[in-house]
Amino acid sequence: MAQQIADTRDVDFVLNEQFKVEKFSEHEKFADFNKKTINMIVKEARSLAIKEILPTQSDKGCEFNAGEVKVPEEFHKPFKLFMEGEWLGMSDSPEYGGGGMPRTVSLAASEYFIGANVSFMLYQGLSHGAMKMLEEIGTDEQKEIYLKKMYSGEWAGTMLLTEASAGSDVGALESTAKKNDDGTYSITGNKIFISGGEQDLTDNIIHPVLARIEGAPAGTKGISLFLVPKYRVNEDGSLGEFNDVVCTGIEEKMGLHGNATCSLTLGGKGNCVGTLLGEESKGMKAMFLMMNEARMLVGLQGFANATTSYMYALNYARERVQSAFLLKPKEGGVPIIKHPDVRRQLLIMKSYVDAMRSIIYYSGTCFDTIATSDNEEEIQKWKGMLEILTPIIKGYCTDKAWEVCSHAVQVYGGYGYCQDFPVEQLLRDSRIFMIYEGTNGIQAMDLLGRKLGLNKGKSFMDFLGEIKKTIDEANGIDSLNGLGSKLETIYNKYTELVATMGKTAMSEDVLAAFIHATPLLEITGDLTSAWMLLWRAITATKAMEGKVKKKDMPFYEGQIKTAEFFISSMLPVTSGKIDSINVMNTAVTDMSEEAFGSK
């Protein structure tokens, strides 16, 4: 059962061998988190995930009745255990109830939790984002009222951004805020697609809400952010009257049935009151404090679903006996993992899962480096690195997660398409990750339009520089059989491409550039994946030069073979995609709307 969430050996490898997370314990901030402690934390997270959260994984939905939402009954016990274990704020400051551990370690723990049941963990995910935003820009009074109870899990948090007329175009929102004499604001509006907007797990729900103050300018420049609790809070911290935040329904969705996706009406009776969070007309800037974390979280959700799907498929392939082995056609059936095409699919899945794990954990090391550095130049470098990684983690990782989950269904064959087996649900659950918190098309536009030129291009050059360091190291290892030079060939083509794309995006041919934004994101993700897999192969090669237990040899050899497969068999396709973009074909924009088809 444990293997059906994540490859525990690989988690250990990335934490302790590839990234050597224990090094952060040398700094006072993380002095309590040596290797023994880190391993214990991850082990405890895995235990909770397997014993308490995984059994709740089902397609059971939420119940809506007269404004109230009941989550699946089996969620209540693990929710209580999760909060009692203080897992919500693992890497946050202990001041309000956080655990103060390195971000990288919390990501490893979260992989197990989310892989066990992503619908269940969604209730915690947005709460954490709301907490961090409040911690960053809230007033002392707001922090005093809300934070400790949100960290403890007594109260939850959400994000009220989307409206029927304002999805990706947030500036078109219609929710309004009218200032009252006491400094509060009366909020009126309707919000949709609110994950966990109503539920029966907590006593109160704290909603950060985007709205426009009466008289503020149109568009995103006039948007402010407000803190709106479901129940008002009295001076002594107890719950007061209902704050006119009404759930009007929940969505019937393709997946994630265990998480309530709500429509909310604020101030339908004229009695919804909120307080300004941050500054007037700076709501979008404030919301992006939460949005960037949310986008990283979505990438983690996609990855966690993918690694769970891979482990299910791998175990099934080892157990399912079907057809004779090609080299022994007269003998009986063999486990399908013996068949070349099944092995090909499994290795594609493993390549992406391994790469995603390293990319996501690497983002954690960026956070931890920032937290332990007193060098401003270094801090800015790693902040820039996180900016570059955000669209890759959110966009590329969720695209590939969907692909991995689809391969899992294929490995199961007809059974994979049936609800008797878990991979069918994991595939459906994974589709939303490519959409919410900014569609992957928006992530691609962000990479091309903002991230290539971030800090006058320095951040992207730092990103490319880190890749080149790994290539250079690999080129000095003969046993890797030229994997470094193969990657370097694609790397050089890529650097030429981004230089061209960056210039085109700032020219009169801007549309020609943005036609190819999504392919550029995919190519960037492929390059990043190859970088991480090559780094893994280097780490494994070095380990094999020392004393290695016999049982660990296949694992290390697998790291090298996985890198070899991805770089030798999959990167040539990436090279072709680079050639495709370089043509700069504009049929997409040249074609008339009528030519797409009749009305």
Active site residue 377: no
The reported pLDDT for the residue numbered 125 is 86
Phi-psi sector, 278: left (phi>0), alpha (psi -120 to 50), beta: left
Q: Tell me which of 424, 437, 522, 564 is the catalytic residue.
A: 437
Digit-coded pLDDT (tens) for 7-22: 999 999 999 999 999 9
Q: Across residues 464-490, what is the average pLDDT?
A: 97
The reported pLDDT for the residue numbered 361 is 98
Q: Across residues 375-386, what is the average pLDDT?
A: 96
- CA distances to 436, 569, 572 from 193, in Å: 9, 40, 40
Q: Across residues 75-95, what is the average pLDDT?
A: 94
Asked if residue 492 has pLDDT above 60, the reply is yes
Digit-coded pLDDT (tens) for 459-476: 999 999 999 999 999 999
Lowest mean pLDDT among 80-94, 161-175, 306-320, 420-434: 161-175
Output the average pLDDT for the chain. Answer: 94
Percentage of the chain surpassing pLDDT 90?
85
The reported pLDDT for the residue numbered 2 is 40
In angstroms, the CA 117 to CA 110 distance is 11
Q: Across residues 294-305, what is the average pLDDT?
A: 96
CA 245 to chain centre: 29
The reported pLDDT for the residue numbered 167 is 66
pTM recorded for the entire structure: 0.95
Q: Across residues 149-171, what is the average pLDDT?
A: 86
Residue 265 three-state SS: strand
Lowest mean pLDDT among 163-172, 365-374, 404-413: 163-172
Whether the Cβ atoms of residue 440 and residue 393 lie closer than 8 Å to each other: no
Q: Across residues 230-240, what is the average pLDDT?
A: 93
The reported pLDDT for the residue numbered 3 is 54
In angstroms, the CA 98 to CA 106 distance is 11
The reported pLDDT for the residue numbered 126 is 86
Q: Across residues 175-179, what is the average pLDDT?
A: 93
In angstroms, the CA 245 to CA 64 distance is 15
Asked if residue 170 has pLDDT above 80, the reply is no
The reported pLDDT for the residue numbered 1 is 36
